Amino acid sequence: MSNKALVKDYMTKDVISVKAETPSEKIIQLMRNTGHDGFPVKDNDTVIGMVTAFDLLLKHRNKSVQDIMSTNLVVADQDMTINDAARVMFRMGISRLPVIDKKGKLVGIITNTDIVRSHIERSTPMKVNYFKKTLEQLYGIKTEIKRRKVSIGQLRPTQNKIYADELQGRTYELKRGLAEPTIVVKTGDRYVLIDGHHRTIAALNLGFDEIDSYVIHLNQEIKLGMEKTADLNGIYSFEDIDIIDDAQHPLIALTRSIRKSKMNKKQ
């Protein structure tokens, strides 16, 4: 995907909106039911405001939406680039933008979560292409990349351990639709999982049968070095992978650990 990804490619199109005369108590209930913390306010199809949890906290709850909503809004055109939308949101200190079409009609909403997802989906292909070229140079073969759903039951893992805290993070991403695709190599009849073990086990735990993947197809069957290492470690299924729950990922630091380290140095 190019850097010219547009807001309309990542926005949420089924927007929950409210009317100006809606009682604030109904907004609280709507937030409880949907898990969202803000809603555009519409008059017909035109955005006239935004009501958020902050408005409910800072203003009187016994009023209607029109008494507490913000009206000086920043909105995004659906043809605005994702990068430009990200800059606006960062500079304005806002977490969501109502999206309009050329006629000013509300057609969606884009959030900081959507911005993160867009960057994840654009960074993964670079990683896939790098691995593709490595395979071609290493084995002197030709490859082809296809993005598709792969049955988790067909995947051969190549990693002997994962971390419980990162597994929790990947579970959250999958629930929110944020998880990037895994990277899989198809060699012969085998589907070898190269990148995405945390994501795949999280998907298994959530009851998924398939997982979104970039599949690198080899034009001839080859026993990959990663497969050979997995054989030596006895890793043939996801049940063979250890989940480390008594240690944090090496790239994650806990504030209490940092404080303890500093205290030890002072002593």
* pLDDT tens for each residue of 157-175: 999 999 888 888 889 888 8
Look at residues 65, 97, 115 and tell me which one is the last residue of a structural domain.
115
Minimal CA–CA distance to 80: which of 25, 21, 9, 140? 9
> Is 76 found in the same domain as 22?
yes
Burial 58-68 (b: 16+ CB within 10 A, else e): eeeeeebbbeb
User: Does the residue 255 lie in any domain?
Assistant: no
Report the number of distinct structural domains present in the chain.
Answer: 2
Better pLDDT: 247 or 24 = 24
CATH at 109: 3.10.580.10
User: Does the residue 111 lie in any domain?
Assistant: yes
Strand intervals (E) in 137-241: 143-151, 155-156, 161-163, 182-187, 190-195, 210-218
pLDDT band at 60 (very low <50, low <70, confident <90, very high): low
The distance in angstroms from the start CA to the end CA of the chain is 53
Assess whether pLDDT exceeds 60 at residue 263.
no
User: Does the residue 123 lie in any domain?
Assistant: no
Whole-model pTM: value is 0.62
User: Does the residue 128 lie in any domain?
Assistant: no
Domain coverage including residue 60:
7-115
Assess whether pLDDT exceeds 60 at residue 223.
yes
1: Cα within 13 Å, side-chain hemisphere: 16
> Is 81 found in the same domain as 23?
yes
- What is the rounded (10 degree) CA torsion for 162, 168, 173, 179? 10
Q: Which two tokens stand for residue 263?
A: 């205290």
> Is 145 found in the same domain as 111?
no
* pLDDT tens for each residue of 200-215: 999 999 999 999 999 9
Q: Is the CB of residue 47 less than 8 Å from the CB of residue 106?
A: yes
Minimal CA–CA distance to 122: which of 8, 226, 1, 11? 1
User: Does the residue 184 lie in any domain?
Assistant: yes
Mean pLDDT of the chain: 86
pLDDT band at 266 (very low <50, low <70, confident <90, very high): low
- Token pair 């807001």: residue: 7
> Is 18 found in the same domain as 110?
yes
What pLDDT, on a 0 to 100 scale, did the predictor assign at position 125? 82
Look at residues 115, 133, 155 and tell me which one is the last residue of a structural domain.
115
Q: Is the CB of residue 191 less than 8 Å from the CB of residue 152?
A: no
Residue 233, CA distances (Å) to 58, 91, 198 in order: 58, 49, 18
Chain mean position to CA 87: 19
